[in-house]
Structure formats: structure tokens, C-alpha cells
Amino acid sequence: MTVSAAIIVDVDIKNEPFIGDPNAPVTIAYWSDFQCPFCQRFEQNTLPTLVDQYVKTGKVKIVFKDFQFLGPDSQDAFYRRG
């Protein structure tokens, strides 16, 4: 299996929510589904470390992209998130 990174200039991040310095040298686009247990695990176990070590130091900006792939309940959660 080959995994390749998306080129961030090809990802539409305009008007998407983000954390970090808008001019950080590295941008991470983060896709997530509100019902995905793996996404939840990432948010609980990995994201805090990325925020502490990279976002808070101005090295990284994380852009949040909703990706509802687990059915209608995911879409409902997306619209109720605010």
C-alpha cells in the first residue's frame, strides 16, 4: 500500500476553522467524522501533543475539514456542531 500526502495548495482551506498562527510554516489539513472512533482516538491521544509541541510554538497551523463518511448521523452531527 502506498500512502501519499496531499499538497496543501491543492486543498481548499479558505474559510475553514483552524488553530495556530495563520502564517505558520507548516499547514496540516485534518479531515474528521464526528462518529469515527479512530478520529476520536486521534483527537484524544495525538492532537493534544501536536498542539502543545507544534501549534503553540508557531510551527504548525491545523485546518479542520469535516468529512462525513459514516452515514446520515455524521451529517446531522456536522450541522449541530456549532
pTM: 0.69
Q: What is the pLDDT of residue 58?
A: 97
The domain segmentation of the chain, as residue ranges, is 19-80
Q: Which fold has domain 19-80?
A: Glutaredoxin (3.40.30)
* 18 close to 58: Cβ distance less than 8 angstroms: no
pLDDT 10s per residue in the chain (82 long)?
565 666 666 777 888 889 999 999 999 988 888 778 888 898 899 999 999 999 999 999 999 877 665 566 655 554 555 5
* 20 close to 53: Cβ distance less than 8 angstroms: no
* 30 close to 62: Cβ distance less than 8 angstroms: yes
